[in-house]
Amino acid sequence: MENMISQVEREKDTFEVKIDFKNLIVRKNEIISALGYADGTIPAHFEEMIDNILPRLPEYCEIQAGYRLLDVTKPEDRNDGLFVGNKFFKLQKIVTSQLKKSEKAALFACTIGRGMETWAKNLSNEGDGALSYLVDTVASVTEEQAVDVLHDHIEKQMKIQGLKTTNRYSPGYCDWSVSEQHLLFSFFPVNFCGITLTESALMVPIKSVSGIIGVGTSVKRVDYTCDTCGMKDCTYRAIRVAKAERANDKP
């Protein structure tokens, strides 16, 4: 596949990443899993609806992505967070334990825009709740795929500098308070990647993801330690399941 990913430094250590939709591989089995069906057990009419949605994704998705690279410092007197740049992130135990060997952090944001959520909302208003739900689910899977591509890009950029990356973590997961979304976005230019925050720290467009990736010489990107967290309906547990399926399946 032709390399269609590039980045531009907009401000010091702040990069805008251009991701072509052709870089995404949105797998139907991941959508089926996200809907709660075991692969192959989904009703035929739902599968047909998914088959009709997938070709329209490029029409409705506008991918914007970027990240900022900052120094990381671990305070000696506490283990519930890290200093990123000049601000303390109270990441809590799970995330801190995974990032504590980091020398830097990549704070990232990625969105597929408003198109899919508008499509889903219009379908719901027209009384087609089933199709609306399927469009929304496909959008969520597509967004995570876009973030996977961004994560891989950051990993490759760090490798050029002789550095490694960790897993990614987002406010609202692994006991990290969603309210720290405001702190994270304070490091970005206004309207970074076309994303804004509500007062309650929700991102607009809805199909957006932000978070942190640890960077350093002694860090590792490993399977998510989901057994240490009791959170249900977790994006990262879904990522782990989806990647296990990818290893045993073809696009």
Q: Give residue-wise pLDDT tens across range 188-220.
A: 999 999 999 999 999 999 999 999 999 999 999
Q: What is the mean pLDDT of residues 134-138?
A: 97
pLDDT at 251: 41
Structure confidence at residue 129 as a pLDDT band (50, 70, 90): very high
Strand partners, 19: 5
- Quote the tokens at residue 129: 């709740």
Q: How many CB atoms lie within 10 A of CB 198?
A: 9
- Quote the tokens at residue 194: 């076309």
Better pLDDT: 38 or 54: 54
Percent of the chain with pLDDT over 90: 80
Which amino acid, 110?
C
The domains of the chain, with CATH numbers, are: 5-245 (3.40.109.40)
- Tell me what the pLDDT averaged over the chain comes to: 89
**pLDDT at residue 231 above 70?**
no
Q: What distance in Å separates the CA atoms of residue 89 and residue 75, rounded to the nearest whole number? A: 11
Structure confidence at residue 63 as a pLDDT band (50, 70, 90): very high
**pLDDT at residue 134 above 70?**
yes
**How large is the greatest C-alpha to C-alpha distance in the chain, in angstroms?**
57
Q: What distance in Å separates the CA atoms of residue 212 and residue 166, rounded to the nearest whole number? A: 9
Structure confidence at residue 41 as a pLDDT band (50, 70, 90): confident
pTM for this prediction:
0.89
Structure confidence at residue 91 as a pLDDT band (50, 70, 90): very high
pLDDT at 76: 85
pLDDT at 247: 47
Q: What distance in Å separates the CA atoms of residue 91 and residue 43, rounded to the nearest whole number? A: 41
Q: What distance in Å separates the CA atoms of residue 167 and residue 218, rounded to the nearest whole number? A: 13
**Non-local CB neighbours of 119 within 8 Å, separated by 6+ positions:** 60, 135
pLDDT at 3: 56
pLDDT at 222: 84
Residues 16, 7 contacting (CB under 8 angstroms): yes
**pLDDT at residue 28 above 90?**
yes
Which amino acid, 84?
V
Task: Output DSSP code: residue 37.
Answer: P
Q: What distance in Å separates the CA atoms of residue 225 and residue 150, rounded to the nearest whole number? A: 21
